[in-house]
Amino acid sequence: MSPLTAPLASATAPRSLAEVRAEFVDAHGYLAACTAGLPTLGTRSAIMGDLLGRPDPLHYAAVVEASRGHFARLVGVSVDRVAIGAQTSVFAALLAASLPDGAEVLCPDDEFSSLALPFVHAGRGITVRTAPLADLAAAVRPGTALVAFSLVQSACGSVADAEAIVSAARAVGARTFCDVTQAAGWMPVVADHFDAVVCHAYKWLCAPRGVAFLALGAELAATLRPIHAGWYAGEDPWASCYGVDATLASDARRFDVSPAWQAFVGAEPALRLFADADPAALHAYTTGLAHSFRERIGQEGPQESAIVSWPDLAGRDLARLTAAGIVASGRNGRARVAFHVFNDASDVDRAARALGC
C-alpha cells in the first residue's frame, strides 16, 4: 500500500467488516461496483422515508452537511475543505477555468473522459498531453501546470503510483488533481497528499448517482474562481437566493453546486457506513477476492486492485459472465469485474466457472 494511501488513525473503533457486509442484500453475482454500487439497507430506508413524507429543505440541508462531514472523515481532511456537487466533470471544469492561459495538463492515456475533457475543451491555449499510466511520473516536465489522474483507472483497474506522480509534480511546481471515484470505498485515501481530490460517490461508496465531492488544499483553493456559484455557495444559502450581492462562503463551500436533495438523502447513510469502516480491512478483503479470481483465471503479475480486467475485444467473456447470471461490464475492449465488500468467495467461484476456469 502506497504511503499516499495509508489509512489514518481513527479516534473511535471502526465498524467491523461483518457490520458493513450486513448492510447489503441480494448481492450475489453482482460484480459491477466499478459501474455502480449497490444500495445499503440504510440508503433504501432513507429514500423510502423521504418519498413517503413531505419535502423538507431544512432537513435536506442537514443531510447534505452530514454527508460532507462523512466524506471529509473518509479522506482525512477538515470539513471546511470539502465542496459538494453532482458530477466529476463540473469540478474538473472548475479547475480548468482557473488555469493560466496556455497551461499544460498531463493525464494518463485512456483516462476517464469526465476528468480529462473539461481540460481538453477549456480553450485559452490550454493543452492536454497524455502518457501511459506507468510512465506518468516520468512524463512530468518543467512547464507542466497540472497532473490530473485517477487513482484507480476505470477501464482496466490499474492503480496509479501516486507517490511517484506527486513527487514528480512537486519537483517542477505542478499541482495534482486526483480522481478517487474508483478507489474510495475499498482503498484508503488521504486527500491531503494531493492539491485536489474529486469523487463521485455512486460507485464504491454505494450512494445514489448525483453526489460528488471536491477536497481542496488551501493553496489551490485560493487560486480558484467560483464559476458555478449559485445560492448554495453563499455564506448563508438561505440569504443568498436573490440578487447579485450575496456573500460567498469563506471556505470550500463557495464552490458548492446546489445539491440534488433526494440523492443526498440516500447517500448520507452509505457515506456514514464507509466513513465508519476500517479502510485497511476493506482493502484487504476486496483485493483478496480479486487476487483469488486472478489466480483462478491464470492472470499473472502483481496487482493490488479490486478491479480485474482482461482483453475481450469481441465481448465473448462478458457474454459468458452475463449468461451465468453475473453482472459485469466491458470497457475499452476489456471485460471487467469488481469485488466489493458485499461480494464473497462464491462470487469468485461463480465468475471463474463461467469463464471455464
Read off the pLDDT of residues 82-138 as tens digits, 9 standing for 90 and up: 999 999 999 999 999 999 999 999 999 999 999 999 999 999 999 999 999 999 999
Q: Sheet holding 212-216: strands in order across? A: 82-85, 212-216, 196-200, 175-179, 144-150, 104-108, 127-131
Backbone conformation region of residue 116, classed left if phi is above 0, alpha if psi is from -120 to 50, else beta: alpha
Read off the pLDDT of residues 11-31 as tens digits, 9 standing for 90 and up: 468 899 999 999 999 999 999
Read off the pLDDT of residues 236-274 as tens digits, 9 standing for 90 and up: 998 898 888 899 999 999 999 999 999 999 999 999 999
Own/partner contacts of 229-232, CB < 8 Å, gap of 24 or more, are 229/254, 229/255, 230/256, 230/257, 230/258, 231/258, 232/256, 232/257, 232/258, 232/259
Residue 357 has what pLDDT?
A: 87
Residue 4 has pLDDT above 50, yes or no: no
Number of other residues whose CB lies within 10 A of the CB of residue 279:
25
Q: How far apart are CA 355 and CA 357, in angstroms?
A: 6
Please state, rounded to an integer, the average pLDDT across all residues of the chain: 94
Residue 301 has pLDDT above 70, yes or no: no
The answer to whether the beta carbons of residues 187 and 152 sit under 8 Å apart is yes
Residue 10 has what pLDDT?
A: 43
* DSSP 8-state symbol, 349: H
At the fourth CATH level, the homologous superfamily of domain 9-38+278-354 is: Aspartate Aminotransferase, domain 1 (3.90.1150.10)
**Cell representation of residue 112:** 476517464
Q: For residues 128-149, give the mean pLDDT.
A: 97
Q: How far is CA 219 from CA 76, 78, 176, 344, 349, in A?
A: 17, 15, 12, 43, 48
Cα angle for residues 170, 172, 173 (degrees, 5° grid): 60
Number of other residues whose CB lies within 10 A of the CB of residue 54:
6
Q: How far apart are CA 191 and CA 313, in angstroms?
A: 36
Q: For residues 209-214, give the mean pLDDT.
A: 98
Mean pLDDT check: name the lowest of 157-166, 167-176, 240-249, 255-264: 240-249
Using 50, 70 and 90 to split pLDDT, how confident is the model at 9?
very low
**CATH code of domain 47-276:** 3.40.640.10
Read off the pLDDT of residues 314-352 as tens digits, 9 standing for 90 and up: 999 999 999 999 999 998 899 999 999 999 999 999 999
Reduced DSSP (H G I as helix, E B as strand, rest coil) percent helix, strand, coil of the chain, to 5: 40, 15, 45
Residue 302 has what pLDDT?
A: 62
Domain boundaries, the chain: 9-38+278-354, 47-276
Cα angle for residues 244, 250, 255 (degrees, 5° grid): 70
Backbone conformation region of residue 341, classed left if phi is above 0, alpha if psi is from -120 to 50, else beta: alpha
What pTM does this model have?
Answer: 0.93
Read off the pLDDT of residues 184-194 as tens digits, 9 standing for 90 and up: 999 999 999 99
Helix (H) or strand (E) holding 176: strand 175-179
Strands 307-311 and 334-338 come out as antiparallel
